[in-house]
Each structure stands twice: as C-alpha cells, then as structure tokens.
Structure 1
Amino acid sequence: MSALNFNTANQTFRQLLGNGLTYRVPPFQRDYSWTEDEWEDLWQDILGLFSEDSESAHYLGYLVLQSSDSKQFEIIDGQQRLSTISILILAALGHLQNLVKDNIDAERNQRRKDNLQNSYIGYVDPVSLISRSKLELNRHNNRFYQTYMVPLETMPKRGLNASEHLLRRAFDWFQTRIVGYCQKDGTAVAAFLDTMVDKLFFTVITVTDELNAFKVFETLNSRGVRLSATDLLKNYLFSIVSSGDTHETELSAIEERWERIVDELGSESFPEFLRVYWNSCNPLVRKVDLFKTIRKQIVTRGQVFDLLRSLDKSASIYATLRDPQDSSLEASERQSLDRLLMFNVRQPLAMLIAAYRKFIDVDRPIFTRLLHAVTVISFRYNVICNLPPQDQEKIYNSVANKISNGTLNNWRSIINALQDIYPEDRLFSAAFQEKEFKTTASRNKKVVRYILFQIEKHESGQEFEFESAAYNLEHILPENPSAAWSHMDEHNQDRFVYRIGNMTPLEKKTNRNIGNKGYLEKIAAFQESCFSITQALPDRYTEWNESTIAARQNQLAKIATAIWRIDFGN
C-alpha cells in the first residue's frame, strides 16, 4: 500500500465541516436512497449519545473522499450518511426558524440558527461575501437541496422525482423527532447539535484520484468493508461523456442503460461481472488492475457508448449463466450450470460468455457441448485434483479472446485449446484415490452425493435424484465410531472417515437405524438397499478397515475416470 497516495484520519463531523472545506457528491453518483429504517437507526444511535451511560462517541464507519487540493472534496463513498446528517441539521435549523417566526426568544434563536448554519451547512466566502453550501448533491438531487432545503424554503410535494421525495420526507421525519426531543427550547436545539457534531466521527480516507480510490476499495473490500466501486467506475465513464457536447436526454438514456445493468446483476455482483466481461474479449486482467486498465483504454465518448452497449448485452448473458433455472436454457445446459455452481468454479465464465455471444443463435450445440465439457474439466481440475486456478484462468481467457475474435470458430478447435487444463487419466485417478471431503460442510456433502449417485447411474443404469431427502450419505466407518470400531486406532479413524471410499448412498430410514454400528451389523441393511454400489459392499468386503476403504476408493477411481472424461481424439 506504500505506493498509494492517500491520507487516513479519524475526524468528527465538526472537524469535517470546518475551515471552509466543501464536499460534492459526483454528478453521476447514485441518488439519495435512505428510508425510514436507516433514519431510525441513525436517530437511535444519536439519542444514545445523550443517555446517562452514553459513550463518548459514535463511529460512523469509513468515509472515502477524493481531492487534489485538500479544500474541495468529492464524496466517493459515504454520501448517504453525510447527506442524512446534513438533513438532520437542516431540520433542526428549520425548527429554530419556526421559533423565530413564533416570536419565541426570537433574537437569540435567530443568532443560534445563523451561527449553526454558517458552521455546518453554508459559509460566507471571504472574497465575494457570497453564502455557499458546504455540500453539493448529485445531478438529480442538488437543485432541490440547494433551492429549497439549504435556504429552508417551503418544499413542494408534487413534481418531484423519487429521491427528491425521500429528501423532503427525511427533513420532515427528523424535524418531528427534534421538535419532540427539544420542544420549543432553542437552547436545547443548539446544545443537541453542538454535542452531536463532536460525538459523531468517521475514519476519513482521502485519495488524490479515481485510481487510488479504486485501490482503496479493493483493500477495504478484502477486509470485509463494502464500498461502491461500481459507482466509482460509473463516475469515471460518465465524466467522459458529460465533458463533451452531450444533450441531457442522451445522458438520461445512458444512465437508464447503466441502472438497468446494475439492477439486473445487483451492485455487489457488478464488479465481478465487469471483470468477467472484460476478460471475455480482452487480455487477462487481475482484479486489482481492472479499473486502471479500463481507465487507460476507455478515453473517448464513443468508447464509453460502445462499452455500455456491450455491457448491457453481456449482463443478461452473465445473469443467465449464474442462474441454472433460467427458462431460456435447455435442460442439459441448466444441469451443467448447476454443477458449476455446486463446484463453486468461476474461472470458465469469461469463456462461456464469449461462446454464448458467438454461438447461441448460430450454432447452439457448440455452446451446449462446451458447457458440458467445462463441467468435466472443472470436476477433474478443481474438485478432485485441486490444481492452481490462476493457471486455468489464463487458458480460459486465451480461448475466450480467440472465440471473440473468430480464431476459434468450431467445436474441435475450442476443445483442443482446452486440453492443457484437462488433467489426464493417470493424474486424475491418483488424486481421486486419495481424495477426502469433510462432509460436515454442506457443499462437500452435496458434491460427494453427486459423485456417488453418478457412479451408481454408471454401474446400474438407475438414476436417482442426488438431492432427494429420501436418501442419506452413509459413512460406513461412522463419524462418531462406537466401540465396534476399536480395531482401527483413533488416528486412522480420523484419516479415513471422510475418504470417498468410506461413503455410500443409503435410504434415509435405514441409515438412521444402523447409526454407528459395526460393519458386520450393517451388512444386512446394505444388502437390502436400492443402490447397487451399496448392495455390492458385503459381497466384495468381509471386513471394513483402512485397506478395504483404500481398495474401494481405488475401484471408484477407475469408474470415475470413465464417467468424467473428454475424448480429445474423437
């Protein structure tokens, strides 16, 4: 982080708004969106500062600002909190103004109102002597904020957009609470605000440009702090568009397109989608370098429009690939996508987006076959062999780019290009023979059920629904062994209990009845099972120990090698 140009400090709201500093929500930042739930939470937190056993301060989280001169700041993250606190202060000032109108301690309340407004809402420019607001909102909200809220004018109730309605409602909501808390006492209002601005504090991160802001986002997000990198990218792209001779209707149209993309994916999924999209038609970019790369390559209005159109088209593809129940998919495609979700494998997504764009309308079977092949590769490479995903991603990115530019345009050329990330039979079989899954994790349990039910289908021809609640996963050596398993020492029990060879499908009731009994006591139940691979256990193994578990797992590995395979020669 030493290469980043940013400063970090803890600041109270009073410190934040002092010394003639001004704050601006970037024009294309999202609109004001807090509702009564958030207002109530903030209000209760503030009231807690005035209780008898109150804490000395209340922490409001990270605030990310961008500035080149340390005087004027753009609010990259935190606009909802700053806007709401400003509205609360305006509501209190509105209450003081009403006291003045009602001739209640009018002279002193007027001085209180002017002083507080100058400190936290606006200031007088020492050169022009013009009153200026300390906070500017985005392009959809600022006119309403500056025209009605800052000067405390009567606010209209009609002809407002949705976020302007929220601003007006927030003002009314907080004014009602302040009137109830302070009554008609101007001194109490001033004391309330004076205490509040000293007890609300942020961790303020100030960066010099968008690139540093994006790097800060990546760092904070890796530590569990959610920030709006999506908004940051939007601000950059739209600043390029608005810098030219762009009509308002054109801005509105592309903004609607952007919001449609984000709404379809969700703001939290958008950054991941953006990287997948970019890698589907460009050289591989790491997550930490994505914003820098886009900023370097997208520099004209035409490039922004082209990018947004392509993002719009690819967003629906990405949403489809992440939703196996999408009605536009064929049954086999839904099954393949469901497997990828179960395996928790994302590396192929860029290639699958490229293949969908290329083939879905002109030669759909190529896409369908490729989707199935990817599940086989993922099972071998990721699930069983657990090989480095970064090596795999490079191959998928290369294939995605070649599909996008037309270099790879048929099934054979594409599947051959993927051969380097297909673990060959010897490597796959060896890894399968040693594989264990701790089925205390639900995903692992689901994967083992999938494996064993596929082996059952291959061996008997019977297809059972592997997610059905009618069947359980039987650990032959139980997870909690009884005295009947004392022939295996505890160390080996721990080593072998979660090996694939120690598990088999079994009817739920039967599984419950046999519990943690010894192997010889379980044999009769196995013989009555509807699963052929479970029925076969007593015929093949007269006892159950470390060597028989290993022997069965070796046998299952041979079957698995035949099931999950791609014949590159045919």
Structure 2
Amino acid sequence: MSNGQSQIGFEQLGLGSVLKRYRLLVPPNQRDYAWTEKHVTKLLQDLTLAITEDEPQHFLGTIVTIPTSDGVLEVVDGQQRLATTALILAAMRQVGGAENAKLAKALETYIIDIDTATLELAPKMQLNAADNQVFHELLESGSSKSALPNRESHRRLIAAFDVARKHLITVVKPIAESERPKVFVRWMNFIEHKARAILLIVPDSANAFKMFETLNDRGLKVSQSDLVKNYVFGQADKRLGEAQQIWSYIKGALETLDEDEITMTFLRQALIAMNGYITELEVYERVQKAARGSQSSIALLSTLEILSNDYVAIASADSEKWNGYPHKTRELLRVLDLFDIKPFRPLLLAIANKFEPAEAADAFEKLVSYGVRLIIAASTRTGSVEQPLAKAAKQVFDGEIVTAKSMSAALLSIVPADEVFQQAFEIATVSQAKFARYYLRSVELAAKGQSEPWLIPNDNPEALNLEHILPQKPMANWPEYDEDQVRVYSKRIGNLALLQVTANSDLKSAPFSEKVTVFGESELLTTKMISEQAEWAPKSIIERQKALAKWALTAWPL
C-alpha cells in the first residue's frame, strides 16, 4: 500500500487491523454517529453467522480516508462501521475481559493506545466534536455520564454498546465459563483478520468524493454531503462559526422531510436550479467553483439556506409559505407531491423562490398537466426531459423566465402534444391505486364540466372503491378471458372505475352481469357509462378508454 500524499493507496484488511494499525480521526465537522440498533444488530448477526460457519473472509465494504501530515487518517467514509466495531470490541472486553486480564489486554490493542505527545492512554479512534467524549467513555469504561438527553447520536452510541454487550452475553451463555475466553479470542481474531474491508487512502477530498460512484458502501450513504460540508467549512476560514450555524439551519430544515439521503438530493437539485443540469458526481466540483474563500462560501451557504426552506415548502402543502398565494396553490402542490417527478424538483424550487405568488400558482398548474402527460407517455425519466427542465429551472432562478407563460414556452418541446397524449392515454395501464383514483376522479370532473378537475378530490377509499371491472383474478366467472388477456386488459384505465361504497359495492370477482346493475346506479358519469355495455369484452375496454382519453385533454390541458 502506498502512503504517498499524492497517490491513491489501497489495502484489503480486517476492520480490527484498521483499528489496531492506524490512528483514526473523524473530522470535527462530520456528521454524528447515525447507526440505529437495527444496523448494529445486523452487523452482529452477520459476524455471528460468519464466525459460526468459519467463513474464510466476510467483506464489509470500503473505507475511504485522507492522510494528515502527522500520520493520522481522516475517515471520510466508513466511520459508522469502524466506530461500531470499536464498540463491539470494547463490549467484548467488558463481558470477557473482566475475568481474564490477558484477554482484556489483547482487546485494548484495538481501542486504546499511548498518545506520544502526552504519554497518556487515549482511544485510537476519535469521532466528531459532538460525539467524541461519549464514545471515549464507552470505550474506556463501558458507560457514559456525559450523554445529553436531547442528543440522538449519544443515545445511539450508548444503545450500540448495550446491544453489543447483550449479544455477546447471549453468544457465550451456553458455553462453559472456562471455555468462554476461547470464544472471544475467536471473535477477536475474526474481526482483525477476516471481517475485511478495502481501506482506501486518497490524497484529498476531491478524489475521495469521486470514489462514491463505484464503491459499495455498507454504511449510511450521506458521506458525500459531508465532503461538501467540510470543503465549504474549510473555505470559510475565520467565518467557520457562521458557516457551521448556517449549515445547521439547512440540516434542520431538511430533516423535517422523511427522505433518504435528503441533504445530497437537495444539494444537487438546488445547484441545478442555480447552474443548470449536473450529475450527482459533479456536485462537489460545482461547490468548489462556487466557494473559494470565506466570502463566497458564506454567500453560497446563505443561498442554500433560503432554498432549503423553499425545498421543504414545495414538499409540504401546508407550509406557511403559501399563506399569501392563491387558494389553488396548496392543492396543486399536493398533486405534484402525489406524482413526485424528480426532474421537476429544481424547477419547482426555482419557481417557489423567484416567482410572484399568482405566477407561481399558474406555473404549478401547468406543471400538473405536464406531469400527467409525461407520466402517461412514459417520458419522465429520460435525459431529453431532465436537461430541458434543468435549463428552465436555471432561467427562472436567473430571472430570465418570470411568468408561467414563458415557462410553458421553454418546455413546449418536451411536453406531449394533445394528439400524442390522447393516443398514449388510450392504451395506458395503471398499477398504483393512488394514481388510478386520481386519473379517474379528474376525468370524471372534466366530463361533468367542473372547474379545476386536476385537483385531488374526494378519493377516500372508505367512500369510493377502485373497481377492476374485469378482475385481476377473474376465477370461473369470466371464462371468455384467458390468462394472457387478463394480464393485458385488467390494468387498463378503461377497465377501472370508481364506485361509491354501498352495501352491494364489494363486487370483487363477480361476473359482469351482476356488476353492471351496480354501475348503472352510480352517480359518477364515467362509471354509469359502463352499464351501457351488454358485455364486457376487450372491445368494451378499448372504447371506454378512448372516451376517457378525450376528457383527459380537458382535465390536463396544455
């Protein structure tokens, strides 16, 4: 393995060996300890099985580090696995080392070393500033008196140690006391030599960031945002405290959304709104260009703070941000949230940040129509859609587009025209009930000439059933359909209907001759029309869907 500052070195070795050989440091501004009891239990179960079956090696992913001038390795990715492994070894020392001094001494080599500067004992791994003291207390004594009741990471560290301790007690409980040290030695040697990871030592943060495109990480995938944060903090220089505070505000806002990897997702989408289309891999490079020195770093963070509040607002229709907006704004946002078209987010974010309230509401209304058209035409995930949307987002953010009308003009080339949309709707299938309910209710309102048919109306499943006229499992009541025909036609929009919940509305696999009477009694126009059919053949499904497609043009206009 190369230790050169300008080279990338790598080595495959056990997690215990990493802890034993190196002094490890989680940078002070990195994220807190994040593994829950579920993550710790899974690691312990995996280790137990691997040791029991005497696996020659058990791969646990990749650890990315950056060497410092004094020989310490800064842990960029892998801190959760390393910290948890150290806690497991510390728990092993408490459970087994209390009765065996030699075992306790052997286990200490993984977690405690002599600090050459002070000649005092010190843990070989340091966590961030918030968690380090609690982590050290657990490693040294197996308990903590410093945990703050309002700090989740402290509770998780304590829980991780406790889970490990209880698990190890369970492992050795059936074993005679005289034989228990041998069990712990087996665990210790497995963790040192066979619980393997690839240790990468890279020269700088930029190289570390690019590793994430190809590395398989067993940990929680938020380290990319940590790299961005640490770079900006480094550029903030004497304004570090200000940068930390702003970052804390950003994280606090984003954490109100229940979404995995939310920070990195937000950073990319905010930077797309600010700069145009970029991939996730290009986020770090874009931040490097934008933040050079303390002034530009604080300026970037301040913009991101404002955008983080808008980002939360577009995902939260009840946000107070929309208090001064037209009444339809909240309903439009609920529809957009229902579909959650990811390439729309930078544009929605830019609109929320830059447009006047009335223009924003009109723009959201157009995007609802465009979203349905793109989904029905199966065009939401193509690059030909994502890049024009990103370009429009930047134009809105830069003030080049200031109205819903000009936004529509910019997107005209990617939105399916009426003829294309109608043809796509005529053959569309729907697998998700929430989408089917929305489509059918909106088409129903359009058929009745009601305004704003694109809103999410009353589709409460306790009030309206979603009925497959030809059942997905027709059984013996539909002998005219073979298995292939059921698969082709059962999820067609033309085969779906909304039906008011009544005593006789639970039709399930009943034959059409029984269902048709109930459909004829419905107050819903698009459901009642089914009763005009003498039988429910494929031709009936096709004809009804063509009728629905015509009303769809009214429900979601250009």
TM-score by length of 1: 0.77
> Counterpart of 1:139 in structure 2: which amino acid?
A
The superposition leaves residues 121-179 of structure 1 with CA deviations (integer Å, 9 ceiling, x where unpaired) of 22586x99897763233234557777x78887998759999589669968996998799
8 A Cα contact 2:310 2:349, kept in partner = yes
Match of 1:447 among 431, 435, 446: 435
| Distance across 2 between alignment mates of 1:154 and 1:304 | 40
Match of 2:393 among 389, 393, 400: 400
| Distance across 1 between alignment mates of 2:152 and 2:552 | 57
Change (3 A) 1:530 1:293: same
Match of 2:248 among 250, 256, 262: 256
Asked if 1:383 is matched to 2:383, the reply is no
8 A Cα contact 1:118 1:124, kept in partner = no
Q: What is aligned with 1:237?
A: 232
The superposition leaves residues 464-523 of structure 1 with CA deviations (integer Å, 9 ceiling, x where unpaired) of 6223422222333332335564445554343222222222222344442473313x4433
Change (3 A) 1:16 1:153: closer
Cα drift, residue 93 of structure 1: 6.8
8 A Cα contact 1:264 1:315, kept in partner = no
Q: What is aligned with 1:75?
A: 75
Asked if 1:556 is matched to 2:548, the reply is yes
Change (3 A) 1:349 1:85: closer
Match of 2:474 among 453, 459, 481: 481
Superposition CA RMSD, Å: 4.4
Q: What is aligned with 1:122?
A: 113
Change (3 A) 1:116 1:388: closer
Asked if 1:27 is matched to 2:28, the reply is yes
- Report 1:271-282 matches (<5 A): 271-282=264-275
> Counterpart of 2:545 in structure 1: which amino acid?
Q
User: What is the SS of the residue equivalent to 2:255?
Assistant: helix
8 A Cα contact 1:355 1:403, kept in partner = yes
User: What is the SS of the residue equivalent to 1:548?
Assistant: helix
8 A Cα contact 2:290 2:297, kept in partner = no
Cα drift, residue 276 of structure 1: 1.0
TM-score by length of 2: 0.79
Cα drift, residue 293 of structure 1: 2.4
| Distance across 2 between alignment mates of 1:436 and 1:349 | 25
Structure 2 residue ranges without an equivalent (≥5): 1-6
Change (3 A) 1:450 1:262: closer
The superposition leaves residues 358-386 of structure 1 with CA deviations (integer Å, 9 ceiling, x where unpaired) of 12xxx311001101110100111223453
Change (3 A) 1:204 1:458: same
Change (3 A) 1:405 1:173: closer
Match of 2:340 among 334, 341, 344: 344
| Distance across 1 between alignment mates of 2:78 and 2:438 | 45
- Report 1:147-158 matches (<5 A): none
> Counterpart of 1:79 in structure 2: which amino acid?
Q
Cα drift, residue 405 of structure 1: 1.6
- Report 1:57-72 matches (<5 A): 61-67=60-66, 72=72
> Counterpart of 1:551 in structure 2: which amino acid?
E
Percent identity of the aligned residues? 24
Asked if 1:460 is matched to 2:448, the reply is yes
Cα drift, residue 562 of structure 1: 2.3
| Distance across 1 between alignment mates of 2:387 and 2:10 | 36
The superposition leaves residues 33-87 of structure 1 with CA deviations (integer Å, 9 ceiling, x where unpaired) of 667777777778778888xx57558958334222359964221233234234435
8 A Cα contact 1:275 1:285, kept in partner = yes
Change (3 A) 1:475 1:116: closer
Q: What is aligned with 1:102?
A: none
- Report 1:155-234 matches (<5 A): 162=151, 194-200=185-191, 201-208=195-202, 209-220=204-215, 226-234=221-229
Q: What is aligned with 1:333?
A: 329
User: What is the SS of the residue equivalent to 1:67?
Assistant: strand
8 A Cα contact 2:359 2:404, kept in partner = yes
> Counterpart of 1:234 in structure 2: which amino acid?
K
The superposition leaves residues 85-139 of structure 1 with CA deviations (integer Å, 9 ceiling, x where unpaired) of 435655777899999xxxxx9xxx5x876665456522586x9989776323323
User: What is the SS of the residue equivalent to 1:538?
Assistant: helix
User: What is the SS of the residue equivalent to 1:420?
Assistant: coil
Q: What is aligned with 2:15?
A: 13
User: What is the SS of the residue equivalent to 1:348?
Assistant: helix
| Distance across 2 between alignment mates of 1:223 and 1:130 | 34
| Distance across 1 between alignment mates of 2:530 and 2:146 | 76
- Report 1:297-312 matches (<5 A): 297-312=290-305
Asked if 1:413 is matched to 2:410, the reply is no
Match of 1:517 among 511, 526, 533: 511
Change (3 A) 1:535 1:31: closer
| Distance across 1 between alignment mates of 2:230 and 2:107 | 32
Cα drift, residue 430 of structure 1: 1.4
Q: What is aligned with 2:4?
A: none
Change (3 A) 1:417 1:88: closer
| Distance across 2 between alignment mates of 1:347 and 1:40 | 37
Change (3 A) 1:190 1:295: farther
Cα drift, residue 290 of structure 1: 1.9
Structure 1 residue ranges without an equivalent (≥5): 100-104
The superposition leaves residues 278-304 of structure 1 with CA deviations (integer Å, 9 ceiling, x where unpaired) of 111112101232223223432322222
Change (3 A) 1:366 1:81: same
Q: What is aligned with 2:128?
A: 138
- Report 1:280-291 matches (<5 A): 280-291=273-284
Change (3 A) 1:25 1:189: farther
Cα drift, residue 25 of structure 1: 0.9
| Distance across 1 between alignment mates of 2:472 and 2:153 | 59
Change (3 A) 1:326 1:514: same
| Distance across 1 between alignment mates of 2:528 and 2:172 | 78
| Distance across 1 between alignment mates of 2:485 and 2:153 | 67
8 A Cα contact 2:65 2:201, kept in partner = yes
User: What is the SS of the residue equivalent to 1:398?
Assistant: helix
8 A Cα contact 1:230 1:267, kept in partner = no
> Counterpart of 2:230 in structure 1: which amino acid?
N
Change (3 A) 1:123 1:194: farther
Cα drift, residue 310 of structure 1: 1.4
Larger Rg: 1
| Distance across 2 between alignment mates of 1:129 and 1:514 | 77
Aligned length: 534
Q: What is aligned with 2:353?
A: 357
| Distance across 2 between alignment mates of 1:508 and 1:168 | 51
More displaced stretch, 199-208 vs 280-289? 199-208
| Distance across 2 between alignment mates of 1:301 and 1:525 | 70
Change (3 A) 1:488 1:233: same
8 A Cα contact 1:14 1:120, kept in partner = no
> Counterpart of 1:436 in structure 2: which amino acid?
T
Q: What is aligned with 1:313?
A: 306
Change (3 A) 1:37 1:57: farther
User: What is the SS of the residue equivalent to 2:316?
Assistant: coil
8 A Cα contact 2:27 2:75, kept in partner = yes
More displaced stretch, 349-358 vs 225-234? 225-234
| Distance across 2 between alignment mates of 1:159 and 1:124 | 27
